[in-house]
Amino acid sequence: MADNQKKAAEPKLHKKHGIKVFDVVNYIVFAIIALIVIIPIWKVVVDSFNAVGVYQFRLWPSDPTFAGYLTIMSTAKLARPFINSVVTTVLGTLVGLIMSTLGGYVLNQYEMPGRSAMSYFLLFTMIFSGGMIPEYLVMKQLHLVDSMWILVVKHGMNVYNLVLMKNFFEGIPGSLYEAAKLDGCSPMQIFYKVVLPLSKAALASVGLMFAVTVWNDYSTVQIYITNPTQVNFQYMLRVMIMDGDTPTTAYKVSQNTLYYASIVCAILPFMVAYPFLQQYFVTGVNVGAVKE
Amino acid sequence: MSKDNNSAAVQVRKKPLKLRIWNNRGFYLMFLPVFFFVLIIYYWPMLGIRYSFYSYKLGKLTWVGLEHFKSMFGQKEFWLAFKNTLVISVVKLLLNTFVAVIISIFLNEMGNMFCKKFIQTIIYLPHFMSYAVVAAIFTLFLSPSSTGFINETLKNWGVIEKSIDFLHNKAMWQPIFQIINLWKETGWGTVIFFATLAGISPDQYEAADIDGATRLQKIWYITLPSLANTIIIVLILNMAKVLNIFEPVFVLYNTRVLEVSDVISTYVYRKTFLTAIPDYGYTTAVGLFKSIVGCVLMLISNEASKKVRGRGII
Amino acid sequence: MKKKLTAVLLCAVMAAGALAGCGGGGASDAGSSASAPSGGTVNEDGSFTLETINIIVDGTVTATVDAGQAEFVAQWEAAVGEKLGHPIKLNITQLDHSDYSGTVSRTLTTGQPGDAGYPDALIMSANMLRQYQTTGLLWNLKDAYDNAEFQSRVTLPNVNLGLRTADGAQYGFAPTYGNGCVTYVKKSWLDAYGKTIDDIKTFDDYYNMLKFFHEGDPDGDGTSGKTYGVIAAGYGKMDETPFINYMPEFWQGAFPSFYQKDGVWVDGFQEQATIDALARLHKAYSEDIIDPDTEEAGTKQAREKFFSNDQTTSEGVFTYWAGTWLRTLTDNMIKNGVEDELVQLPPIQEIKDTWGGYLNREAPVWVITDDQDGNDAREQAIFDALFETMLDGDVVQTLWTYGAEDVHWSTKAESFVLNPGTDQEKAYDYADGEFHLKQSPNDPNSLWKKNHLDSVLVIAPLTNGFVNDDPLIQEGNTFFTENCVDAPAAASCATLSEYEADIVNDRTRLMNLAVTGEITPEEAIAEYQASWGDIAAQIVDELNAAEQ
């Protein structure tokens, strides 16, 4: 939505050709910035296909191999965390979406008695929390310590995203609700038949936020999970690279190749999906910060 | 979130309360899962705050009153962590915002739409990498050993003679931490400014063109002032969260630079989970202190936000 | 209507969950004694039948979930169940990452006997044992140990007698003695240096060798200065006795912790020997002789780099565990295509003059948690089911020593080839009835080596004649036995337990600062004395008082 406005604004900005130097410098500076961002990522990708550790920058693998990736796929200790990551991300996103749409929808019912109490009930959690230790003890009570489902529970409820969803829902014209109500729809039916179908972009946007959070979470695993069968890929990667806890594998693979291949696996899902979904990511930020 | 007194609500209020509640029963039902989820995940832990007043060692609880707070305020380590938290987060916030503003302004000046989109796409990329990954990449790159990409490159170029142990150097740790954060988050930070820039009316620039203003003058007198409000909002929104910093530091710090890198959350983590026989009461107390200060910061930010843009952040 | 129903169901589930959860209300209050003993049933005659047993183990149980743990557990349950005459279930929680002690403390703090995840028995390092034995969480197994059926077969009684406290209690059980580290040198690098292992007699010889490994071109790739002399997991390992064993040549006679010197306890970190050792380490660090990755490296990282397929940034010397590890390191080099072998460096003169040889560390132990109900029936049952069978000399001991039958080892006829199609190809052929180790479940190109117990180090040997007669392992063990002395015993007192973690962290920090030259060794010790001098003095007093 912001794009249309931008296109309208842009062409007029540069009618004056007075200062060419400015443009040249600008392009050069941004080329450098782009390189700074891309070189580390490129090196990681190239080295993940390189059989021996190369410590210089190479544009292309000098000794190409897939051993790193084959090792990850064939070694349970590496493949299992990846699957755990996928499962928790999918479930966490699902639970997150259910909770935030339900909550966001209900909070939009301004004529409902107790609505503001409900929103204060939610918003209080944003300003005060029990802290790391009490949270740990509660999770222990819930038998979520040492279980990967902690990732689903911990990220499944996010008040910020709930408010975001509510903001999205506010954009739905009230007349649609009224029409549905007159047709005799229950609140749940309106939610299901009117609100959700009209909010696909919002669902994509908020869903991606949940997905990124769960997929990228490392510290929750670090704090709560010690059982090696329950950890996610981020944690495994961290332990492998920082603690040097490289698993025994059937493959002959250089330590560095394996490190870099794991890094690629850890960033792959969003790197691949992101260029196509960029608009949804961007919308989420703008609705969250600007409209809130 | 203060739209309670819109006209529809006023009309409905004529009906008796019981009826209104009954009419909304579907909504209450739908809220129940959210209610219980929040109750368990957020409110239940708040009960645990009572441990702040107990000694809690190896499963045994003994009442100690305010002892933990006394010993906490008497600890050099604690104040160091508190100071580091503020310094690291505030510098991070200001630096990221400042650089993001600069980048968005100048990228906005770029005429070629394809180039602009392309660069946007690239600089957003690192945001989607986790801190664990970013730390892994930079730890490998910055290694002082002959496997370290950056040290070896600098040596080849003749910039340095001997490898520098970047991440273990007290003077260098904070700057490097901030640079890594800039690399990861600045691109993404520009998103919100682009939205504002897109909203600036082209008329203003046309008027300036007629007056014969240069590019830089237009940036200074039109673009920058239009961003001022957004900048303030971003600062206020994030100011409230400065004490929460954990993961970015945790993945990059090490014992040798504790003095400049230990923040409250990492302090709590170490004291709780990396100590042989920890006192969970003490670390709960430190956590409570953090929560209270965080709460105050949040309320201040809220007031500030009300002043600046007419509505709070919560 | 269906949707409404779903919503109602969802709510009901949530509510039920909430109520069930809230009943607990965080941690239970002060020292509440656990009601009925867990993991079994009390019989009418007051005896106890153990039905489940939860254990926490570290990476030393090498039959991990990815390497045949399920089969190991199944065979253990079958064998032990038969011995006891009733079925028994074994739950293994394996924490194979670096922070074992922290995780154990988390489990013991937030849980209590009777909880689902609370361990009945677990492995502890000598250090952890000293910390926990004063807390009342562990069961005094002295009587159980003395009356154990395996006593008649024990050949090395001193290991366990050494674990006893001043008042005669014994909280840990060591099934093996400790083992220690010896220094391995890559033979081809030594050849490039133009010397043999017998030429390396003193610290200066050792140091010059390392210097060549860094400054010369020992790997023969044409460049010099990219390789390093030595790597280790830390310059010293301040949190694990005997602290100095990964860098013995540099530490020499220093022992940077509390130890008994001529019958009197002292704080070795404050001694001149430690300052000298730090100075030696600093010199080597500043000349790039020690790989700078040493500071952050874990043991795995260090050894991975040592036998990495990229030898151009590797190291020539690595001090690591004796015996089985000589085989493992060699196998890994072969697997990575490193054409080299390892030679063992006899202790240098300075080590011989001070300690007398490489240090044989205090053994890690198994402990049993005490449920504090004043009744030993449950604890004794755990001892009988777990420890007694672990040294039965037969089926169960074989499980702990070599792993599961037909998974890790076998007596059936079979033949297999390791590293097929490469230069290192090696064929194995066994007749029926011949005991042999199989290919590793998680790496078909290497031979399985052992499970938890090392057959050479165990205090009561196997009686079924199963021996792993790998000549390299035998050679490594003989070499170590000929060149080792027992490490000083770890200290234990109340004040030490309270401050140990902080002291250890600070020692590590100061050691790193001194080695990397940010402060001098003298400054490091001075800072240590300023922060910990009083507490250290108090600890030394307490230790000496207990000795009286």
Type of residue numbered C67:
A
Fold for the domain defined by C181-360+488-547: D-Maltodextrin-Binding Protein; domain 2 (3.40.190)
Lowest mean pLDDT segment, chosen from A52-61, A65-74, B102-111, C102-111: A52-61
* Selected residue with higher pLDDT from B279 and B237: B279
* Selected residue with higher pLDDT from B221 and B11: B221
Domain co-membership, A146 together with A35: no
DSSP H helical ranges for C360-439: 377-382, 389-390, 395-402
CA C467, C471, C476, C481: dihedral to nearest 10 degrees?
60
Verify whether the Cβ–Cβ distance C97 to A141 is below 8 Å: no
| CB count in 10 Å sphere of residue C13 | 12
pLDDT tens digits, residue range B67-104? Answer: 999 999 998 889 999 999 999 999 999 999 999 999 99
* Partner C contacted by B37 (CB < 8 A): yes
Question: Could you tell me the pLDDT band of residue B214, with boundaries at 50, 70 and 90?
Answer: confident
Question: Could you tell me the pLDDT band of residue C28, with boundaries at 50, 70 and 90?
Answer: very low
**Domain residue spans of chain C:** 48-178+363-402, 181-360+488-547, 409-469
Residue B42's pLDDT is: 93
Q: How far is C330 from chain A (nearest CA, A)?
A: 15
- Tell me the mean pLDDT in the region C424-428: 83
pLDDT tens digits, residue range B112-151? Answer: 888 888 999 899 999 999 999 999 999 989 988 877 889 8
Measured between beta carbons, the chain B residues lying within 8 angstroms of C111 are 59
Question: What whole-number distance in Å separates Cα of residue C160 and Cα of residue B189?
Answer: 61
Domain co-membership, A110 together with A161: yes
Q: Check if the beta carbon of residue C437 is closer than 8 Å to that of residue C448.
A: yes
Mutate to test the interface with B, among C9, C109, C128, C510 (most CBs of B within 10 A): C109
| CB count in 10 Å sphere of residue B178 | 15
Q: Check if the beta carbon of residue A251 is closer than 8 Å to that of residue A67.
A: yes
Q: How far is C265 from chain A (nearest CA, A)?
A: 34
In a domain, A248, yes or no: no
Domain co-membership, A89 together with A180: yes
Question: Could you tell me the pLDDT band of residue B36, with boundaries at 50, 70 and 90?
Answer: very high
Q: Which residue do the tokens 């079924």 mark?
A: C464
Cis before B45? omega within 30: no
pLDDT tens digits, residue range C460-506? Answer: 999 988 888 788 888 998 899 899 998 888 887 888 877 887 898 88
In chain B, the residue whose alpha carbon lies closest to the alpha carbon of C294 is: B145
A30: exposed, middle or buried (C-beta count within 10 Å: 0-12, 13-18, 19+)? buried
Question: Could you tell me the pLDDT band of residue C42, with boundaries at 50, 70 and 90?
Answer: confident
pLDDT tens digits, residue range C512-548? Answer: 999 999 899 999 999 999 999 999 999 999 989 887 6
pLDDT tens digits, residue range A122-152? Answer: 989 988 888 889 999 999 989 898 899 999 9
Residue C426's pLDDT is: 83
Residue C22's pLDDT is: 39
pLDDT tens digits, residue range C152-211? Answer: 999 888 889 888 887 889 999 999 988 899 999 999 999 999 999 999 999 999 999 999
Residue C240's pLDDT is: 83
Question: Could you tell me the pLDDT band of residue C4, with boundaries at 50, 70 and 90?
Answer: very low
Fold for the domain defined by C48-178+363-402: D-Maltodextrin-Binding Protein; domain 2 (3.40.190)
Structure tokens at B65: 């009153």
Confidence check: pLDDT of C8 > 70: no
Verify whether the Cβ–Cβ distance A140 to C111 is below 8 Å: yes
Domain co-membership, A120 together with A188: yes
Confidence check: pLDDT of C279 > 90: yes
Q: Check if the beta carbon of residue C65 is closer than 8 Å to that of residue A229.
A: yes
In a domain, A1, yes or no: no
Measured between beta carbons, the chain C residues lying within 8 angstroms of B40 are 17-18, 21
Question: Could you tell me the pLDDT band of residue C356, with boundaries at 50, 70 and 90?
Answer: very high
Q: How far is A283 from chain C (nearest CA, A)?
A: 30
Measured between beta carbons, the chain B residues lying within 8 angstroms of C213 are none
Verify whether the Cβ–Cβ distance B46 to A128 is below 8 Å: yes
CA C129, C132, C138, C139: dihedral to nearest 10 degrees?
60
Confidence check: pLDDT of A252 > 50: yes
* Partner B contacted by C83 (CB < 8 A): no
- Tell me the mean pLDDT in the region A237-245: 80
Measured between beta carbons, the chain A residues lying within 8 angstroms of C25 are 141
- Tell me the mean pLDDT in the region A257-268: 91
Q: What is the architecture, at CATH level 2, of domain B69-309?
A: Orthogonal Bundle (1.10)
Spell out the residues 6+ positions from residue C369 whose beta carbon is closer than 8 angstroms to its own.
C108, C113, C118, C119, C120, C121, C122, C137, C138, C139
Q: Which domain holds residue A216?
A: 77-237+273-291
Q: Which of residues 163-182 of A touch B (CB under 8 A)?
A: 163, 166
Q: How far is A104 from chain B (nearest CA, A)?
A: 9
Domain co-membership, A132 together with A155: yes
Lowest mean pLDDT segment, chosen from A70-84, A191-205, A248-262, C267-281: A248-262
Cα C15–Cα C18–Cα C24 angle in degrees, nearest 5? 150
Verify whether the Cβ–Cβ distance C106 to A137 is below 8 Å: no
In a domain, A93, yes or no: yes
Q: Check if the beta carbon of residue C298 is closer than 8 Å to that of residue A245.
A: yes
In chain C, the residue whose alpha carbon lies closest to the alpha carbon of B33 is: C11
In a domain, A263, yes or no: no
Residue A54's pLDDT is: 64
Residue B146's pLDDT is: 78
Comparing C-alpha atoms, which of C277, C286, C206 is closest to residue C244?
C277
Query: Number of C-alpha atoms within 13 angstroms, CB side, residue A290?
Result: 18
pLDDT tens digits, residue range B48-69? Answer: 999 999 999 887 889 999 999 9
Comparing C-alpha atoms, which of B238, B272, B264, B266 is closest to residue B252?
B266
**How many domains does chain A fold into?**
2
Residue C499's pLDDT is: 83
Phi-psi region of A83 (alpha: psi -120 to 50; beta: other; left: phi over 0): alpha
Query: Number of C-alpha atoms within 13 angstroms, CB side, residue A195?
Result: 29
Q: Check if the beta carbon of residue A33 is closer than 8 Å to that of residue B190.
A: no
Domain co-membership, A105 together with A59: no
Confidence check: pLDDT of A288 > 80: no
* Selected residue with higher pLDDT from C5 and C367: C367
Structure tokens at A46: 């190239």
Type of residue numbered C500:
E
In this chain, the answer to whether the domains covering C48-178+363-402 and C181-360+488-547 adopt an identical fold is: yes
In a domain, A49, yes or no: yes
Tell me which chains share at least 3 CB pairs under 8 Å with chain B. Answer: A, C
Residue C9's pLDDT is: 40
Residue C548's pLDDT is: 66
Domain co-membership, A107 together with A40: no
The answer to pTM > 0.90 is no
Percent of chain C with pLDDT over 70: 92
The distance of Cα A213 from the centroid of its chain, to the nearest Å, equals 4
Domain co-membership, A133 together with A202: yes
Question: What whole-number distance in Å separates Cα of residue C465 and Cα of residue C248?
Answer: 36
- Tell me the mean pLDDT in the region C230-247: 89
Q: Which of residues 111-140 of A touch B (CB under 8 A)?
A: 111-116, 118-119, 121-123, 125-138
Q: Positive or negative CA dihedral for B198, B200, B203, B204?
A: negative
Domain co-membership, A116 together with A54: no
In a domain, A184, yes or no: yes
3-state helix, strand, coil in chain A (%, to 5): 75, 0, 25
- Whichever domain contains A169, its CATH number is 1.10.3720.10
Question: Could you tell me the pLDDT band of residue C21, with boundaries at 50, 70 and 90?
Answer: very low
* Selected residue with higher pLDDT from A287 and A259: A259
Domain co-membership, A23 together with A120: no
* Selected residue with higher pLDDT from C114 and C537: C537
Measured between beta carbons, the chain C residues lying within 8 angstroms of A52 are 309-310
A181: exposed, middle or buried (C-beta count within 10 Å: 0-12, 13-18, 19+)? middle
3-state helix, strand, coil in chain C (%, to 5): 40, 15, 40
- Tell me the mean pLDDT in the region B276-304: 90
Q: Are strands C258-261 and C181-186 parallel, antiparallel or unpaired?
A: unpaired
In chain C, the residue whose alpha carbon lies closest to the alpha carbon of B146 is: C226
Question: Could you tell me the pLDDT band of residue C456, with boundaries at 50, 70 and 90?
Answer: confident
Question: Could you tell me the pLDDT band of residue A57, with boundaries at 50, 70 and 90?
Answer: confident
Structure tokens at A93: 């996103």
Backbone angles phi, psi at C99, to 5 degrees: -95, 65
Residue A261's pLDDT is: 92
Question: What whole-number distance in Å separates Cα of residue C172 and Cα of residue C397?
Answer: 18
Of C95, C296, C440, the CB nearest to A226: C95
Domain co-membership, A174 together with A89: yes
Domain co-membership, A83 together with A225: yes
Question: What whole-number distance in Å separates Cα of residue C206 and Cα of residue C209?
Answer: 5
Q: Check if the beta carbon of residue B106 is closer than 8 Å to that of residue B134.
A: no
Backbone angles phi, psi at C91, to 5 degrees: -110, 120
**Domain residue spans of chain B:** 7-65, 69-309
